[in-house]
Structure 1
Amino acid sequence: MTPDQLDAALHDIRWTPDILARALGCDVSLVHAWLDGNAEIPMKVGVWIKVVADHHQAFEQTKPAGVKGKKYLE
């Protein structure tokens, strides 16, 4: 996975580098190094985040539309 692909995957799933770092249990500086191209993204991380992004995109297609813009009024 390239830094641009990682950035696109994070955008697709609406995650920040901090959220990815917490999900992986690493320091956010490592995620920033991946995104900046200063460190190689491990293959297992690339595959995992791609699967997460692919599933998120699939689920986006099935989310309920009937609640968009609704508010709770007592």
Structure 2
Amino acid sequence: MDNMLLNELAIEDKGKVGDIVEFERRGLSILGKVSIVRELSCIVEIDEEVAEHFCYETPRTVVRHNNYKVVRSSSM
């Protein structure tokens, strides 16, 4: 595959703002809502109790695009 096609495929795999995504952190499956999308990762809003469990200062965490799956699209 050429680089342009690979880049197009990578863009399609990215979540969009408002999407609900699932990712794994320290062996636990976590659901969160995408709030910011960057080139290699996104910022995901998670439940405050989950954030406290992991001793995070805020309910936001960075997740690489290849480390989550979209479980509900914001465009549905």
Looking at secondary structure, tell me which structure has more helix per residue: 1
TM (norm. structure 1) is 0.24
Structure of higher CA gyration radius: 1
TM (norm. structure 2) is 0.24
